[in-house]
Structure 1
Amino acid sequence: MNRGALSEMDDYPIHQVAEVVRHVGTSDRNFYDRYYFNCHGDMRGDEPDPWLIVGLGVYPNLGVVDGFAVIRRDDDHLVVRASKALGDNRNDLAIGPLKLEVLEGLQRLRMSLDPGHGEFSFDLVFDAEGPALLEPRHYQRQLERVTFDTMRFVQTGTWTGSLTVDGTAYDVQPDVWRGNRDRSWGVRPVGEAEPPGRRAAETDASSFFWIYAVMRFEEYSIVVVVQELRTGERVMGDAKRVWNDASREPEWLGRVEHEVEFVSGTREPAGATLRFVKPDGSSTAVRATPQVANYIGFGTGYGLEQDWRHGMWQGEEKVEAVRNTVSGFDPMMKMFCPVDHYSSFVYTDGAVTETGDGLFEFAVIGPHDPYGFPDYTATAP
């Protein structure tokens, strides 16, 4: 018996296959299990608070666990990223200076980045303000290969703790600092890039239109997810209202229709209207206004840099800090990864109007006929 394959998690009745917990039910190299968080304070005025995003992923079949933290403040784009060899214990979610702790499942989590690595550090606790929403399963096959088969849940909440950026300390209190977090797991492209084979000749196979919005209002959140192919055909689409009162069931708002306006010469959204249409033809709508963009594709592992991708082997342990400016980013490269926009939202239901804020994640990668992008490099007029 290989006792080294056991961990404390194997003492809980949570097994899904005839294996120890550290082994998942598929040998697909692209299986992953990850966390995402965003955190923002007062984003109004001439000097908005930092826009922090943190991710941590486990890649069992690649033998890697890695994570990142990225700050957008003014023109600064600051990243700390860390990677290490995955051990037996899935409760060990520390990678060098970056650490995640589940204090109470589906309610409280702590994330921290020790000082001395890059130009920022933090020690923050997330408290959920409503129930987690399990989203529809995300499944996509390209040619014969299943490229996406994932599950995800999402949750809004508040933050408490401390954040320091370039020597400036922020007292993070829940009446001001908010955000959302999600957990996803399954199969998606990770690790070292694989040879595309036939897919390289069929460029439409990699077109990716994406809207992921998590909007926080006073008594509820609205979660919208849309993925489309080049033609506008839906891979997935959903819109739900999640009440902070857990005794109320999530409400399906209707089929999602979108109208995105673009910044001229780019594929970045200047604004968007999302309409939710019920079978009887009635509809409600939300207006999204992006305010601060966090370009999570740069430096964090989402695929723009070929030497640091999520799940890539970096050795037993490696920690790096990367400092860039948003104004220095190549405008063309900005079009090849989703961008997380802190945004304001106005929801209209008949004569009732409510305001909120949160995440508007957006990407149009490759050709997309409904918005008139014939290839990978076309931009809005």
Structure 2
Amino acid sequence: MICDELQGELDALQRDGLKRIRRTLELPCGPLARVDGRSLISFCSNDYLGLANDPALVAAACAGARNWGVGSGASHLVSGHLGPHAVLEEQLATFTGFDRCLLFSTGYMANLGIVPALVGRGDAVFADRLNHASLIDAVQLSRADSQRYPHADLAALERLLAASTARRRLILTDAVFSMDGDLAPLPGLLMLAERYDAWLVVDDAHGFGVLGAQGRGSISHFGLPANPRLICMGTLGKAAGAAGAFVAANATVIEWLAQRARSYVFTTAGSPLIACALATSLELIAAGDARRAHLRQLVAQLRDGLADTRWRLLASPTAIQPVIVGDNHATVRLAAALYERGLWVPAIRPPTVPNGTARLRVSLSAAHGEAQVAELVSALRELACA
């Protein structure tokens, strides 16, 4: 049968502890979840500021639906660029400090649009080895020469740049690495981009809204000045609590992407009600210092609580707190033991992370309370002794 080979490969995933399970939630996104009638504390989502079910965003979305309907009806360049889209792009440009912004349907689509629009055959992309899958796929689509440097290794990157004879060069990196929680050395990367006449494309999916002054993101966190070489992608479905993504850059780059980024040109524009909700989200992010301070306190609470156990946490200052286990099956068992205690923490395994580094990925949110984090710490301490 035509599906027998696929079934065999699915069986192999199950045997190797790599098969993923999709669960259906019976409550809105938040720190409390219900799955199959079971109540859980969730440490799974990227809703870092707790905005996904915020009443102000819900009200803005409802008002947006009444005023603008549900669908946009077409791509941005045909007739789908509605008033709320234009307003949001202007607000994002002002908030991030760039000349212009361009909205995309998802962060994945934004990355697939940026790289192939800027480089192609005869060009070179220099990518961090731990970049997100969307960046890896974007490089493959571009057909540019792909050169991967060891994670955050500026010296290795400089050697590659110095040896390159490519027509155009593009440095590509996550800002906050989604499975490790650490930050890219953005000041050093920008310095190399200037020295070797390259673009620096930064995926700030997990930094926007959380890091920097008023949550302006990783570029603000490092105090980097405006620079025509710098291109930032930020997602709007994580800390911003809704959906979509944006690319921020100088006006010339944004206009080029609007003309040549295929995942922008050839897809229907996002819902206008989401753009209305995001306008409110930006206001809450800008006024969200208390949320960010609470989130930092929860990070410290978790790390301090597990410091003297056998669990090894990576050196992450962000809301992403990976607990390295190593073996795939052991990681799945640990996640299952927590689940039985009413704590939902995802088991992350290859190919999402390198072989031998399977882990729990604890995602903290400003919506979590100290008592909920204390419950997770207590359970992990107990399981550390099992």
Q: TM-score normalized by structure 2?
A: 0.26
Kindly indicate whether structure 1 or structure 2 has the higher relative contact order, using CA contacts under 8 Å at least 6 residues apart. Answer: 2
Query: Which structure shows the bigger proportion of residues in strand conformation?
Result: 1
**Higher helix proportion:** 2
